[in-house]
Amino acid sequence: MSRSIRLLTLLQHLREQRYPITARHLAEHLEISVRSVYRDIESLRDQGVHIEGSAGLGFQLKENFLLPPMSLDETEVEAVFLALHWLKSVPDPALKSASHSVLTKLNAVLPKNKQELINETMLRSINHWLAVDEKTVEQVRLAIRYQVKIEVDYLDEKQNISTRVLWPFVLGYFNDKLLLAAWCELREDFRNFRLDRIQKMHVSETVYPEFKRHLFQAWWQKEQERKSNTNAPDKN
């Protein structure tokens, strides 16, 4: 695991914790030494991440998103729970964990009559995903979040493998597959990549020189133009 992706993974793991977590636990989770954990914590602090705690006491990320009080009707509650149950099926450990955490928090604050409604609701999301490395999914999602380049060995439809440097900016969750849209430095153009065809991946520390929102807007416009021409094939 590269140091950049290790720092991203450490940051994500801290985000998922409600209480301080020890360096030893972090070391076991990341499969590194306790000394390396301390160095990584200091590196994140140097980059402006607010991490409280110290050796022996545990560490906690002081960053949170607080939602104001809100009222949901029955249909809105069903919609939220259906979406969260769908998330529990995606091949991404962090999102699965997050969906479980949100469900627990919502159950804790819902009025009793709304909890009974959820228990009686028979809405289910059933998905079958093509086999994909869950670690790759998580790393791609983090690379998009932090707008860093990735290098992949990609197997195309003709079973040819090529090495690409990509600027990943959006990840689509379709019925059975995950599709990454990215700027490809090799093709000097936008390309779509199935995550189950990525054979090998490295996350760099290089931030790509464009906002992901702008890349998405340009890609979306090009996709609409391509769809208007039904004879235009998909390319990699």
**Tens digits of residue pLDDT in 89-135:** 888 888 888 888 887 777 776 777 766 766 676 676 667 778 888 88
The per-residue pLDDT for 212 is 92
Domain ranges of the chain: 3-61, 74-120, 134-228
| Cα–Cα distance measured from residue 224 to residue 154, given in angstroms and rounded to the nearest whole number | 25
pLDDT at position 168, please?
97
**178-184: strand order across its sheet:** 189-194, 178-184, 161-173, 148-155, 198-207
Domain 134-228 fold is SH3 type barrels. (2.30.30)
Contacts of 36 (CB under 8 A, 6+ apart): 27, 30
- Give pLDDT, residue 128: 73
Two tokens, residue 15: 């985000």
Q: What is the pLDDT of residue 77?
A: 77
Give me the pLDDT at residue 21, please.
87
Domain 3-61 identical in fold to domain 134-228: no
pLDDT, position 52: 85
DSSP 66: P
Phi/psi class of residue 61: alpha, beta or left (left: φ > 0; alpha: ψ in -120 to 50)?
beta
Could you list the pLDDT tens digit for every one of the 236 residues in the chain? 667 778 878 887 887 777 788 999 999 988 899 999 999 998 888 877 888 887 777 888 876 554 555 566 778 877 888 888 788 888 888 888 888 888 777 777 677 776 676 667 667 666 777 888 888 998 999 899 889 999 999 999 899 999 999 999 999 988 788 999 999 999 999 999 999 999 999 999 899 999 999 999 999 999 888 888 765 556 67
Residue 71's pLDDT is 67
Percentage with pLDDT > 70 across the chain? 85
User: Does 3-61 carry CATH code 1.10.10.10?
Assistant: yes
